[in-house]
């Protein structure tokens, strides 16, 4: 077990730390949304990559993505700094240069290159981006644990990180579609993607450098002599225990379904408004309303938690989502306003699970400790993120393949697509969250067992305070 030493002669925790930490996720998200929102559009629609080929490539690279976090996390622990120097800031400092550069590299103008070169550029640039993003994001996420030991101050960091993440989505989700798409034809403008990536990459670098300047690492962990060490955590042992844990299995299925299906709208909405409504101006409106739904749920979650069980909040709303998505499939949805309204309602209804999912992982960590007698936060957390990342890759692959089933032809512009493509794309965009809602309702409602009463039993077994209201407050701040 490591001994904790507090640094001397460092600034007290305050607003600089909060703002700096918010800027970290804001900067990371500027790069992340370029990849999640525009990478597929650029390579499929602008560079003419077959959607099925794109999906397969992303699936294969996502498998590597699944092991990135444990690998980088392990390296940050093993490569301990000497003489009390910062542990995580050096990773963020050097990683910021790499992440900014590869964000630009992803959108190189290769329209005149051979198909093989375009495929190679797609997979290589994505793998490079993924590795650079992990080099920055894992140390950034872990750095909060050495900034303060105070629970309220850690809750503040989580809250400010959430705010930075949300604001980081605004430029790519609301502003950039107005610049990257032809407002008359709805086609993406290829020449504008590189310069947009340059600006976003530079902004990412500036924000991460600000994080380094404003945040302070106050805690140093010093390892005890080897003979005093307890049994070392073993990821594969913990992995097997997780696969035998009913709450963990339920949460993993729900988390994967959230990424694979519920959060597919970043990609599918662009094709819906491009091919079905022939008006890409609505992309920004839909994304903006999605952010409004998230903010509304952040406000409502605390009073909801005082009245309802967390397990119920994360399962019952998905019954309504099932009804909404079926309605979106069987009706023509002729007005883009109706589509935006349905997207807003889905965002609100899934908001409780999206907001609480990290708190549910903490509950599972406590449950695993009560079951096995070992506290292995990192390994348990990695089990969930491993499946989340693989699920995200499978979702991207399925989406690419499904896009070919709609009849979409990547070699044609919007006006030249077959007449039924728009309707097929609309139905596909509604079917994805329908599948996700069914999976989440079943997994959280029938498989996941950690309701409030069960968690009180877990806390008692661990000999901790059973004030569940305090746990609810902590979950909301996260």
Highest mean pLDDT among 44-58, 103-117, 170-184, 207-221: 103-117
Q: What is the pLDDT of residue 471?
A: 45
Please report the sign of the dihedral spanned by the C-alpha atoms of residue 33, residue 36, residue 39, residue 44: negative
Whether the Cβ atoms of residue 18 and residue 158 lie closer than 8 Å to each other: no
Between 471 and 12, where is the model more confident?
12
Q: What is the pLDDT of residue 115?
A: 92
CA–CA–CA angle 259, 262, 264 (5° rounding): 75
Each residue's pLDDT tens digit, 392-436: 767 777 887 898 899 998 788 888 899 899 999 999 999 999 999
CA–CA distance, 38 with 61 (Å, rounded to integer): 17
Closest CA to 262 of 357, 181, 364, 332: 357
- 70 pLDDT more than 80: no
How, if at all, do strands 219-223 and 2-6 pair?
A: antiparallel
Each residue's pLDDT tens digit, 432-443: 999 999 999 999
Residue whose token pair is 């918010």? 22
Whether the Cβ atoms of residue 398 and residue 390 lie closer than 8 Å to each other: no
Instruction: Say how far residue 145 (Cα) sits from the centre of its chain.
Output: 20
Which structural domains are found in the chain, ordered by start?
10-226 (1.20.1250.20), 235-478 (1.20.1250.20)
- Is residue 316 classed exposed, middle or buried when 0-12, 13-18 and 19+ CB atoms within 10 A define those classes? middle
Q: What is the pLDDT of residue 51?
A: 84
- 244 pLDDT more than 80: yes
- 375 pLDDT more than 70: no
Closest CA to 432 of 275, 260, 294: 260
For the chain, how far is it from start to end, CA to CA, in angstroms? 26
pTM flag (> 0.85): no
Q: What is the pLDDT of residue 335?
A: 94
Confidence of residue 476 (pLDDT cuts 50, 70, 90): very low
Each residue's pLDDT tens digit, 191-233: 899 999 999 999 999 999 999 999 988 877 555 554 444 455 5
Q: What is the pLDDT of residue 475?
A: 41
- 277 pLDDT more than 80: yes
pLDDT > 90 in the chain, percent: 35
Other Cβ atoms closer than 10 A to 39: 23
At residue 367, the 3 state secondary structure works out as: helix
Q: What is the pLDDT of residue 75?
A: 72
pLDDT > 70 in the chain, percent: 83
Q: What is the pLDDT of residue 474?
A: 43
Each residue's pLDDT tens digit, 134-193: 888 878 877 776 787 665 676 566 667 777 877 887 776 678 888 888 877 778 888 899
- What Å distances lie between residue 190 and 10, 43, 45, 110, 124, CA to CA? 48, 10, 9, 10, 20
At residue 242, the 3 state secondary structure works out as: helix
- Please, where are the H alpha helices in 308-335? 310-313, 317-330
- Please, where are the H alpha helices in 215-335? 235-243, 246-260, 265-271, 281-307, 310-313, 317-330
Q: What is the pLDDT of residue 147?
A: 81
Cross-strand pairs, 188? 181
């Amino acid at each position: 077990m490591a001994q904790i030493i507090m640094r001397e002669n460092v600034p007290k925790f305050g607003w600089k730390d909060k703002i700096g930490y918010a800027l970290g996720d804001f900067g990371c998200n500027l790069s992340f949304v370029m990849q999640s929102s525009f990478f597929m559009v650029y390579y499929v629609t602008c560079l003419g990559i077959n959607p099925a080929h794109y999906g397969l490539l992303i699936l294969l690279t996502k498998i590597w993505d699944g092991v990135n976090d444990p690998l980088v996390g392990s390296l940050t622990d093993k490569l301990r700094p000497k003489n009390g120097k910062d542990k995580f800031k050096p990773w963020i400092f050097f990683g910021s240069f790499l992440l900014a550069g590869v964000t630009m590299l992803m959108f190189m103008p290769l329209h005149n290159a051979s198909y093989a070169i375009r495929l190679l550029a797609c997979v290589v640039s994505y793998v490079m981006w993924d590795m650079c993003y992990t080099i920055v994001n894992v140390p950034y996420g872990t750095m909060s644990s050495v900034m303060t030991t105070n629970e309220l101050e850690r809750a503040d960091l989580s809250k400010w990180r959430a705010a930075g993440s949300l604001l980081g989505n605004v430029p790519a989700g609301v502003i950039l579609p107005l610049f990257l798409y032809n407002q008359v034809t709805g086609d993406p403008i290829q020449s504008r993607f590189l310069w947009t990536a340059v600006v976003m990459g530079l902004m990412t670098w500036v924000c991460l450098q600000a994080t380094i300047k404003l945040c302070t690492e106050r805690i140093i962990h010093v390892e005890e002599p080897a003979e005093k060490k307890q049994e070392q955590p073993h990821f594969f042992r913990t992995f097997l225990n997780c696969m035998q844990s009913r709450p963990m299995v339920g949460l993993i299925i729900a988390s994967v379904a959230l990424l694979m299906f519920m959060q597919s709208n970043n990609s599918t909405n662009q094709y819906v408004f491009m091919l079905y409504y022939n008006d890409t101006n609505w992309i920004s409106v839909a994304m903006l309303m999605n952010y409004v739904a998230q903010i509304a749920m952040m406000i409502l979650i605390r009073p909801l938690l005082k009245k309802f069980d967390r397990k119920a909040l994360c399962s019952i709303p998905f019954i309504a989502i099932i009804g909404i998505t079926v309605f979106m499939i069987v009706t023509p949805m002729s007005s883009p306003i109706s589509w935006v309204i349905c997207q807003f309602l889905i965002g609100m209804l899934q908001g409780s699970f999206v907001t609480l999912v990290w708190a549910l992982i903490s509950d599972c960590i406590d449950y695993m400790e009560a079951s096995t007698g070992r506290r292995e936060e990192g390994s348990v957390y990695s089990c969930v993120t491993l499946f989340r990342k693989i699920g995200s890759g499978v979702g991207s692959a399925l989406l690419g393949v499904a896009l070919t089933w709609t009849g979409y032809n990547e070699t044609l512009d919007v006006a030249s697509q077959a007449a039924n493509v728009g309707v097929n794309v609309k139905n596909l965009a509604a079917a994805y969250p329908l599948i996700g809602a069914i999976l989440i309702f079943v997994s959280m409602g029938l498989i996941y067992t950690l309701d409030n009463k069960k968690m009180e039993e877990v806390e008692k077994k661990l000999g901790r305070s059973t004030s569940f209201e305090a746990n609810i407050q902590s979950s909301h701040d996260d």
